[in-house]
Amino acid sequence: MTSRVGTDPHPRTGHLAGSSATSLLEDLAAGRTTATALTEAVLERIGAIDAPGTDVSLRSVIATSPDALAEARARDADRAAGAPGGPLQGLPTLIKDNIEAIGLPATAGSLALQGRAVASDSPVVVRLRAAGAIIAGSTNLSEWANFRSPNSTSGWSAVGGITGNPWALDRSAGGSSAGSGAAVAAGLVPFAVGTETNGSITCPASLNGVVGLKPTVGSVPATGIVPIAGSQDVPGPLARCVLDAALLFEVMSATSGAIEACTAGSARSVRVGVAHAWLTGHAATDALFEAALAVLGPNVAGVNDVRVPALTFDVRQDQTDVLVGQMSDDLGAYLAARPGLGVRSLHDLVQFNVDHAATELAFFGQEYLEQSAASEGRASASYQAARDRNVRWARDLCFAPALELGIDVIVAPAYAPSWKSDLVHGDFITGGGDICTPAAILGWPILTVPMGLADGLPVGLALTGPANSEARLLAVGRAIEVALDLRSRGLDQPTWNPAARG
């Protein structure tokens, strides 16, 4: 079939596109559906609209699990026998393909890891399975989580190709968790798992019109996930709504309180600071942000401007130097320890890409991998100086003044609308993302919620706060979501616009 604007490209499984995880759990509990039926629908929808050669070719999924249906039948058998189920009992989900799970490739998008089966589930996947979730497959991503070259194209990997955006198929789905964001927006699954080092959940959530939560670094285990930098890497949920994100976060973090934070009135004690210096410069996006603040005001303790510094070249360069240094240590150790890899070091990886340049280096280079291979890692004096400068800038200049005034949560637009995917020239980000960097440096959480359409494409509002403040972020995010009520206004479903010139 041919995709049409505003039309679901696979109506047979179209109910998945409008269903939240919480509503599907209610259907499972009431016997209106089964885990097997949901998983069959997910796999059918992936096969119909996601794979290369289909009318849409979304390319958000790298692999489906050969065990997914068997897991679903086991969940149904447990339910029929009256066995107690977990909070995600019977729900299919997808994980980013840099997360290890038995039966899935965990390639980080690279041919160097393709065909090298993982030996065990990562801790976060262990928690998902223990909660009753069905790991239906793994999602495409920006190769090596978008830290391979400064000229990269978000959403592209040598294994998965380029992920499309279901709102406009020639637009970027963001990076690096492009596949997870696009899959949720397209209704392939009710929620998915991504990872973030700097913007890699926030950006796909904003560009695809879904909710994304990057948790506090360390609150969710990152073992068994292909790393960039231990001080910034963390997995987190992308979901249809704030409550779904809270549900998945509680399981991933093995904590409670996130779901309770989504109840009405939970944000009334929260003081919100507005970082106008981090506006996107895109008029329609920034106007939606101001409109969101207006409806948020009555639901929180106060909304006040806060002074924050602009990002400078020096700050960005320091962070790049930090990531290069930590990747030298962390990815190097990961490659050496993962069983079955022919690529055992960063030097091996760089050479592999040279040997497979026709595919791996067809569109952009591997400058960051080369720099990491040559780096002395955390032992370098220049690394430590860059890290110290980064932390002081983020802590003392960006956030300390607001916290001293009693501000609990800082908000700014996440990103301007999605840009055209361009494998020749790389990304042309149209604005935004500034709020991500200081939070990334400090390992603080970020929540992104949709705030409407700008130029016909979704844009999000981002909220950050101190470490372990996820409950406050979710409370404010839920208040924004309810106040804007995008679903009743028909602003939550992708338009599936085909590729266009210009």
Q: Which residues, at least 6 apart from 80, have a Cβ–Cβ distance to it below 8 Å?
A: none
Q: Which three-class secondary structure state does DSSP give residue 255?
A: coil
SS3 of 113-135: CCCCCCCCCCHHHHHHHHCCCEE
Among residues 172, 200, 266, 328, the one annotated as catalytic is 200
Active-site residue, 176 included? yes
How many Å apart are CA 403 and CA 418, to the nearest integer?
32
What are the φ/ψ torsions at residue 232 (nearest 5 degrees)?
-130, -20
Torsion sign, CA atoms 172, 175, 179, 181: negative
Residue with tokens 């696009």: 182
Among residues 176, 180, 253, 266, the one annotated as catalytic is 176
Q: Are 93 and 114 in contact (CB under 8 A)?
A: no
Q: Are 184 and 240 in contact (CB under 8 A)?
A: yes
Give the CB-side neighbour count of residue 364, counting CA atoms within 13 A: 24
Q: Are 447 and 435 in contact (CB under 8 A)?
A: no
Residue-wise DSSP of 379-437: G-HHHHHHHHHHHHIIIIIIIHHHHHTT--EEEEE-B-SPPBP-TTT-----SB-TTHH
* Torsion angle defined by CA atoms of residues 464, 467, 471 and 477, in that order, rounded to the nearest 10 degrees: 10
Among residues 65, 96, 110, 214, the one annotated as catalytic is 96
Tokens standing for residue 7: 């039309």
How many Å apart are CA 416 and CA 369, to the nearest integer?
29
Give the CB-side neighbour count of residue 91, counting CA atoms within 13 A: 33
CB atoms within 10 A of CB 472: 23
Q: Which residues, at least 6 apart from 381, have a Cβ–Cβ distance to it below 8 Å?
A: none
How many Å apart are CA 25 and CA 30, to the nearest integer?
9
Q: Which three-class secondary structure state does DSSP give residue 305?
A: strand
CB atoms within 10 A of CB 341: 16
Number of residues assigned to the chain: 502
Residues carrying an active site annotation:
96, 176, 200
